């Protein structure tokens, strides 16, 4: 059931989480599918509903710093500096976990991913549930992430206890996942917090979005994918059969061809606006019956790195 995120409904949602149920809720990045992170049976339902492989660990969402200490066994200066600057916000930190974090949350890893979301509904929900909430994006595994409650309803509506609707997510791409378990900090998934911002606080970080050993399934080659094939293009002459195609433009350009459907992420080429619109535009194109989605390249600076990461994964072959 989809309901407005009113104070009463957030209270009800908190109760559902406390009692082991599943609630989809808004964050500043995408909608999450939440369960009590300390209840392994509740967490198992997330994997079932999403059809998510059990080797893919979840992010634990907290509303207060006290929980960080309970959930981890070791925190260093870098983490504190980043937290002070960026939490609440779209930065997920991978740290060594404590005993209380169930193995199902971390897929058996010794580490746990934690973030404090910058959305009043998410924070209020966690406060009401009185427990950290583990939540992946509220979509079937591998499919486009949801940035509205309607996306969640369309994809998972009949499988979960409640959807809290607070409109569109302001950032629109998932959080940046940063591992601090080695001396060298590593980005495991580019996201809503630009790498450049992180480097201003802790110096150079490595960007490791591909590795032989997959540490973060955001690293899987094909992910965030519509059912329709996606092709990335630089120039318009790469577009074949426009009459049956959808075109995803980064900014407004002069199109001298007539496509079946065109979506513009940001008229003026603003990366923040583009990331906020990315998944919604992909959902619409995927629902529009086109044979192929042609997606225009975006510059890979700031949020552009996360946008191109999502487009590449959406366009990867199985």
**Do residues 312 and 297 touch, judged by C-beta distance below 8 A?**
no
> Which of Mg ion, ligand TXA, none has residue 148 at its interface (CB below 5 to 8 Å by kind)?
none
As given in the structure block, the two tokens for residue 58 are 């979840």
Say whether residue 92 binds Mg ion (CB under 5 A).
no
Report how many residues bind ligand TXA under the rule CB under 6 A: 29
Say whether residue 88 binds ligand TXA (CB under 6 A).
no
CB of 27 to Mg ion, least distance (A): 12
Question: Is 54 within any annotated ligand binding site?
Answer: no
Question: Is 301 within any annotated ligand binding site?
Answer: no
Distance separating alpha carbons of residues 100 and 71, to the nearest angstrom? 7
Nearest to 190 by CA among 213, 215, 173: 173
State how far the alpha carbon of 249 is from the alpha carbons of 105, 217, 302, in Å. Answer: 37, 27, 18
Say whether residue 146 binds ligand TXA (CB under 6 A).
no
Exactly one of 27, 137, 148, 176 binds Mg ion (CB under 5 A); that residue is: 137
> Which residue's C-beta sits nearest to Mg ion?
137
Say whether residue 134 binds Mg ion (CB under 5 A).
no
| Cβ-count burial 154-172 (b if 16+ within 10 Å, e if not) | ebbeeebbbbbbbeebbbb
Distance separating alpha carbons of residues 203 and 193, to the nearest angstrom? 15
- The residues in 11-50 that bind ligand TXA, with binding defined as CB under 6 A, are 27, 29-30, 32
Exactly one of 101, 112, 126, 193 binds ligand TXA (CB under 6 A); that residue is: 112
**Do residues 48 and 41 touch, judged by C-beta distance below 8 A?**
no
Taking the least distance from each CB to Mg ion, the nearer of 27 and 137 is 137
Question: Is 147 within any annotated ligand binding site?
Answer: no
> Which of Mg ion, ligand TXA, none has residue 23 at its interface (CB below 5 to 8 Å by kind)?
none
Question: Is 115 within any annotated ligand binding site?
Answer: yes
Q: Phi and psi of 123, rounded to 5°?
A: -65, -45
> Which of Mg ion, ligand TXA, none has residue 58 at its interface (CB below 5 to 8 Å by kind)?
ligand TXA
Question: Is 137 within any annotated ligand binding site?
Answer: yes
Characterize the bridge pairing of strands 292-296 and 230-233. parallel
- The residues in 175-234 that bind ligand TXA, with binding defined as CB under 6 A, are 175, 177, 188-189, 215-218
Residue 116 DSSP symbol: -
CB of 226 to ligand TXA, least distance (A): 16
Question: Is 27 within any annotated ligand binding site?
Answer: no
The helix (run of H) or strand (run of E) holding residue 2 is strand 2-4
Say whether residue 113 binds ligand TXA (CB under 6 A).
yes
Q: Alpha helices of the chain — where are they, by DSSP H? A: 7-18, 40-50, 66-71, 77-86, 103-106, 120-129, 149-156, 195-202, 271-287, 304-315
| Burial status of residue 42 (CB atoms within 10 A of its CB: 0-12, 13-18, 19 or more) | buried
CB of 176 to ligand TXA, least distance (A): 8
Say whether residue 148 binds ligand TXA (CB under 6 A).
no
> What residues have CB less than 8 Å from 111, skipping those under 6 apart?
94, 95, 96, 97, 179, 181
Which residue ranges make up the site for ligand TXA (CB under 6 A)? 27, 29-30, 32, 56-59, 90, 92, 94, 106, 109, 111-113, 117, 135-137, 174-175, 177, 188-189, 215-218
Binding residues: 29, 52, 61, 111, 115, 135, 137, 145, 175, 189, 224
- The residue ranges that bind Mg ion (CB under 5 A) are 137
């Amino acid at each position: 059931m989809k309901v407005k995120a009113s104070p009463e409904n957030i209270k009800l949602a908190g109760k559902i989480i406390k009692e082991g149920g599943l609630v989809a809720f808004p964050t500043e990045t995408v909608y999450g599918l939440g369960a009590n992170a300390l209840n392994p049976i509740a967490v198992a339902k997330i994997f079932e509903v999403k059809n998510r492989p059990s080797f893919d660990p979840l992010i634990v969402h907290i509303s207060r710093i006290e929980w960080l200490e309970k959930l981890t066994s070791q925190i260093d200066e870098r983490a504190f500096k980043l937290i002070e600057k960026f939490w609440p916000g779209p930065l997920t930190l991978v740290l060594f976990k404590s005993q209380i974090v169930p193995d199902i949350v971390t897929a058996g890893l010794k580490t746990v991913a934690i973030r404090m979301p910058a959305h009043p509904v998410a924070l209020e929900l966690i406060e009401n549930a009185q427990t950290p909430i583990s939540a992946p994006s509220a979509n079937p595994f591998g499919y486009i992430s949801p940035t509205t409650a309607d996306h969640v309803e369309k994809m998972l509506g009949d499988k979960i206890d409640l959807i809290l609707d607070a409109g569109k997510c302001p950032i629109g791409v998932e959080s940046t996942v940063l591992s601090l378990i080695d001396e060298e900090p590593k980005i495991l998934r580019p996201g809503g917090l630009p790498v450049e911002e992180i480097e201003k606080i802790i110096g150079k970080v490595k960007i490791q979005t591909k590795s032989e050993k997959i540490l973060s399934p955001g690293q899987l080659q094909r992910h965030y994918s519509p059912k329709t094939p996606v092709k990335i293009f630089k120039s318009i002459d790469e577009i074949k059969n426009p009459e049956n195609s959808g075109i995803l433009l980064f900014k407004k350009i002069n199109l001298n061809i007539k496509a079946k459907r065109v979506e513009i992420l940001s008229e003026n080429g603003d990366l923040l606006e583009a990331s906020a619109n990315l998944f919604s535009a992909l959902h619409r194109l995927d629902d529009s019956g086109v044979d192929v989605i042609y997606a225009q390249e975006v510059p890979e600076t700031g949020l552009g790195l996360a946008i191109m990461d999502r487009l590449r994964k959406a366009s990867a072959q199985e």
